[in-house]
Every structure is written in structure tokens, then in C-alpha cells.
Amino acid sequence: MTDTIAAAPAARSYQPHQRPLWQRILLTRESAVIAALLIVIAVSLATVRNFDSPLTVTYLVLDIAPILLIALPMALIIVTEEIDLSVASIVGLASVTLGLAVQAGVPMPAAILLTLTVGLVAGALNGFLITVVGLPSLAVTIGTLALFRGIAVGLLGTTAITDFPEFWTDLARDRIEGTPIPLIAIPIVLLFVIFSLVLHFTPFGRGIYAIGLNKEAAHFSGVHVGRTKFTLFVLSGVVSAFAGIFFTLNYGSARGDNATGLELSVIAAVLLGGVSIFGGRGALHGVFAGVLLIGVLGSALRLSNVSSDIINVITGVLLVLSVVGSSLLALARRARIGARKKDATPTAP
């Protein structure tokens, strides 16, 4: 970073961007993921039997909806160079809360509100420990991963609550009239638009990137580092609770061990979508495409009767390749900047 700043004034008079527009749009991680997604869809349509049925869309959206939802706040958290490993446990805790509330005769809207509140409190606890107490988010959320899951399983044991009102379970599973797209797509798209606007078009969003690039610099530039992170962890808790409500109603079953391990799918998709684990880089359209890419690939491979351990291997290889790919790009960029610095001395008048 310091190299660029030192070299830039000498090398060019004033050039806002080093590369032309088409390169800046096409040669990004996000575009690569979107291109990969389109190619996988095209190849699957041409070669995989039954992939072209409308059911593919329905099942795909129902399957990846919780991941899509939680990936939104997770991406923002990772951009600030933090992580939230407790999201799947919050899904489990939300599932149990909703189940117990319904079992106790609480009307559904109130039960949903209560569940979202539990998510908010869980997220606030994470945020408090990270921003006020000042502990690293990795350690805190590994702890709360165990804590929230422990409470969830402790409350329900190995039993399940399954008697949810049919109106609400139908709401979770029904399609938008005349399309194969489930209703859950509406809140997903809505949240995606809101999160994108906040991240990419508000000072709060700029602050998120600034924190990820350099926390101290962000602080001295007037970004409320603690408050921003606290807000993100609370958001993560609430969205995870919402995903938990959907998960529970979709499967019609509240269990303490619901969605175990989901946090890894979410983080994998976020990283595949081009968000840097070192913070400061990433965009939500890439994350959206990353989740879809893993989902579409999985559904195409399952339809081809590929066994699930092979599917895991392919997803893993894809993830490693995408990380290696972005490192190569960064390496190339550094080499180019270094070379230009060398060039700059002899050509300067």
C-alpha cells in the first residue's frame, strides 16, 4: 500500500483510475464468479437431465435461502476483518425459541417477534464482548457457537417440536403465484438491496471498508469503529434468527441441532464471492453469485448422481482455486506496480 502512495504522484499527473472501465468491470473477482455461475448453468442445462425443470429453481432457493440470508451480514463482518462463527448456533437457538413459544400457545406473530429478539440479544452479546470488552471475534464467536448451541440443545434435548400452524409452514414453502420461485425470495432480494445500498452507497458502508483496510486510520478519520462493528454483529444475530424461523417453518421441525455446521457453508460462499478474509475487499453481488454457484453446482451434481463426498471435494477445490486465483491477481498487481516504479525513474523528464 505505502508503495503505491509513494510512487503515484511521480508516475502520473492525475489519473483517477489505472485501468480502463471495461477492465475494471470485467477483470474482478465478482465478474469471474458470475461468469463461472453462468457457465455452470449453461453446461448443466445442456448436459444434466431434469436440470431444466422448474423444480430445480424451487428446491435450489429453498435449500440455499438460509445461506443467502446470513451471507449478507457475514460479508459485511468479514469486510471489517472480523468473523461471526456463531450464526448457525443462533439459527438453532432461534428454531428452539420459536418451537417452545408456539408449543406454549404464543400466537405466531408474537413468537416470531420473540425469536428475532433472541437473535438480537445473541448478536448484541457477541458485539459487546468484541467491541466493549475488546476480545477477538474469532475467540468470542467460537465460544458463543458452543454456548448458543448448548442452550438450544439443552432446552429441547433430542426431541423436536413439529406442530406449527399450517398457514405459516405453507408461507415458508409456497411459490410466488405463477412462478416456481418460493416466497422467501422476496425478503432475500429486499435484504440484498438494502445491504448493498448500505455497504456501497452510504458513509456507514464506506466506514466498513475503511475499518477492514486500516482500523486506526479509520478511527482517526472519524469512523465509529466500535459502534459500526457492534451494529454488524447485532444485524448478524437478527438475520440469523430470521433464517432460523424460515428453516424451522420450511422443515416444519424445531430442533436444537438444526443447521449444525451452516456457518462454514456461509463463510465458504462469502469467500468464494470475492470477499477477502483479510478485510477491506468484497462486494455483495459477488457474494450472491458465490452462494448461487455453490448451490447450482450441488444441485446439478446431485441430479447427475454424483455422490456427496465428491460434491464436497469439488466445492472445496473450487474454493481453494478461487482463493489461489485472487492471490495470483494480487501478486501480479504488486509486480506491475513495482515494475512501473522502476520505469518511472528513467522516463521522468
Partner 1 sequence: MFQQFQRRGRLAAIAAVTVTVALAATGCSSAGGGGEGGGEGGGDTTITFLPKNLGNPYFDTSNAGGQEAVEEFGGTFAEVGPTEATPTSQVSFIQTAAQQGTSALVISANDPTAIGDALQEARDAGTKVVTFDSDTDPEFRDIFINQASAEGIAKVQVDLIAEQIGDQGQVAILSASANATNQNAWIELMQEELEANHPNIELVDVVYGDDDDQTSFDRTAALLQTYPDLAGIISPTTVGIAAAARYLSTSEFKGQVALTGLGTPNQMREYVEDGTVTAFALWNPADLGYLAAYAAKALVDGDITGEEGDTFEAGKLGEYEVGADGVVLLGDPFEFNADNIGDFDF
List of residues contacting partner 1 (CB under 8 A): 19, 23, 27, 32, 35-36, 39-40, 43-44, 46-50, 53, 55-56, 59, 63, 160, 162, 169, 173, 247, 250-253, 255, 257-261, 293, 297-309, 312, 314, 317-318, 321-322, 325, 328-329, 332-333, 336, 339-340, 343
For partner 1, which is the closer residue by CB, 91 or 210? 91
Tell me the three state secondary structure of residue 161.
strand
SS3 84: coil
Question: Quick one: 240 or 258, whose CB is closer to partner 1?
Answer: 258
Could you please report the per-residue DSSP string of 20-32?
Answer: -HHHHHHSSHHHH
Residue number with CB closer to partner 1 (217 or 330): 330
- 281 by DSSP, 3-state: which? coil
Residue 68 host element (H or E)? helix 54-79
CB of 211 to partner 1, least distance (A): 28
Q: Which is nearer to partner 1, 53 or 221 (CB)?
A: 53
Task: Pick the closest to residue 104 from 234, 254, 256, 243 (CA basis).
Answer: 254
Q: Report, in Å, the least distance between residue 112 CB and partner 1.
A: 20
Report the alpha-carbon distance of residue 287 to residue 315 in Å, rounded: 15
> Which residues face 175 on adjacent strands?
182
Closest approach, Cβ 193 to partner 1, in A, equals: 27
- We find the least distance from the C-beta atom of residue 337 to partner 1, in angstroms, to be 10
Q: Which is nearer to partner 1, 4 or 260 (CB)?
A: 260
- Comparing CA positions, the residue from 116, 117, 98 lying closest to residue 108 is 98
Of 39 and 217, CB closest to partner 1: 39
- Of 270, 283, 266, the closest CA to residue 323 belongs to 270
The least distance separating partner 1 from the CB of residue 310, rounded to whole angstroms, comes to 8
In eight-state DSSP terms, residue 223 is -
Q: Give least dist CB 263 to partner 1, A.
A: 13
Contact 180, 57 (CB under 8 A): yes
Are 297 and 38 in contact by the 8 Å Cβ rule? The answer is no
| 97 touches 153 (CB < 8 A) | no
- Name the residue nearer to partner 1 (CB basis): 235 or 300: 300
- Among residues 91, 92, 100, 56, which one has the least CA distance to residue 73? 91
Residue 74 exposure: Cα atoms within 13 Å on the Cβ side: 33
Shortest CB 63 distance to partner 1, Å: 6
Closer residue to partner 1 (CB): 231 or 265: 265
Exposed, middle or buried: residue 114 (CB in 10 Å: 0-12, 13-18, 19+)? middle
Report in angstroms how near the CB of residue 258 gets to partner 1 at its nearest: 6
The label of the residue with cell 456507514 reads 204
